[in-house]
């Protein structure tokens, strides 16, 4: 089978998928360890049997709804490459708004100390460490799989010496430490809405990383309460939020003593990030 025949066969397998052509090319590039330009220039190249078998095995996984990022074990985020697998949430482009906001908010702080709570793949904390060479970032999660993946990604992106990856029930493992910023993209989907999510999210991404309780706000409440005693004076608390959660999350911060509470929209104009400043410690 030639490359162009494989691409056609892959597209046919994914008939009805909006991203059929893109998914097929991404998977074939992964199999061949080549870029898309190579596929176009060498479309008449014959695939050996090993490549062909591996390609169709991956395509069948995609046909069943498994996300491409899990199949190829990689997702780009903030211009960096992150290893991902089942058990961690796949980083979304929308979350780059959270990272960019935090980087801007801490730009005047020297040697900032930051905690990324519910770190998942580590994409948020590792990106911050990458773009702030003087920062030290704690990456916290209660599940073993995210901790394992975050360790791999810290090494992969050369920030392992400026990160500490710790098993922690939210901020519990950092009790007694003072932080300049706490950032989190916590589980925030209402429990009743989980069954309505797209198949590739609902059936493959971890429930624990999606479900935020009955109203989707459980983690915002818990983290905000804990954050007050751990932030330095005027320390930053920054969250990614879900659709139509802006007012509720802002209220949670306000009721817990935070001020200068702001909402930042993503590139699509959707309210995506909430930040607040603490004034609890000197």
Tens digits of per-residue pLDDT, 84-126? 999 999 999 999 999 999 999 999 999 999 999 999 999 999 9
Q: Are 262 and 235 in contact (CB under 8 A)?
A: no
Q: What is the pLDDT of residues 214-255, one digit of tens each?
A: 899 999 999 999 998 899 999 999 999 998 999 999 999 999
CA 227 to chain centre: 21
CA 154 to chain centre: 14
* Collapsed DSSP state (helix, strand, coil) of residue 4: helix
pLDDT band at 19 (very low <50, low <70, confident <90, very high): very high
Which CA distances in Å does 258 have to 68, 109, 167, 251, 262? 40, 19, 27, 10, 11
- What's the CA gap between 246 and 267, in Å, rounded? 16
- What's the CA gap between 256 and 25, in Å, rounded? 49
Q: What is the pLDDT of residues 187-208, one digit of tens each?
A: 988 888 888 888 888 888 888 8
Token couple for 108: 């005047």
Greatest distance between any 2 Cα atoms in the chain: 68
**Which residues are 82's β-sheet partners?**
75
Q: Which domains does the chain have, with CATH numbers?
A: 3-64 (1.10.8), 75-277 (3.40.50.150)
**pLDDT of amino acid 190:** 87
């Amino acid at each position: 089978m030639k490359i162009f025949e494989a691409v056609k066969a892959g597209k046919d397998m994914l008939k009805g998928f909006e991203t059929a052509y893109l998914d097929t090319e991404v998977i074939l590039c992964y199999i061949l360890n080549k870029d898309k330009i190579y596929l176009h220039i060498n479309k008449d190249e014959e695939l050996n049997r090993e490549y062909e078998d591996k390609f169709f095995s991956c395509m069948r996984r995609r046909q069943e709804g498994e996300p491409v990022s899990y199949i190829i074990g990689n997702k780009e985020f903030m211009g960096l490459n992150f290893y991902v697998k089942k058990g961690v949430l796949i980083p979304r482009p929308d979350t780059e708004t959270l990272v960019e906001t935090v980087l801007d908010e801490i730009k005047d702080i020297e040697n900032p100390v930051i905690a990324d709570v519910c770190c998942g793949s580590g994409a948020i904390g590792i990106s911050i460490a990458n773009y702030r060479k003087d920062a030290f970032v704690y990456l916290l999660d209660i599940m073993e799989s995210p901790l394992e993946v975050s360790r791999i990604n810290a090494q992969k992106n050369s920030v392992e010496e400026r990160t500490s990856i710790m098993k922690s029930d939210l901020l519990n493992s950092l009790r007694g430490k003072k932080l300049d910023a706490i950032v989190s993209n916590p589980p925030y989907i209402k429990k009743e809405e989980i069954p309505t999510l797209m198949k590739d999210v609902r059936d493959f991404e971890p429930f624990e990383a999606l479900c935020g309780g009955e109203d989707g706000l459980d983690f915002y409440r818990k983290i905000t309460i804990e954050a007050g005693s751990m932030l330095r004076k005027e320390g930053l608390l920054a969250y990614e939020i879900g659709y139509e959660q802006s007012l509720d999350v802002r209220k949670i911060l306000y009721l817990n003593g935070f001020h200068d509470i702001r909402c930042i929209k993503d590139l699509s104009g959707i309210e995506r990030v909430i930040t607040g400043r603490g004034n609890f410690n000197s």
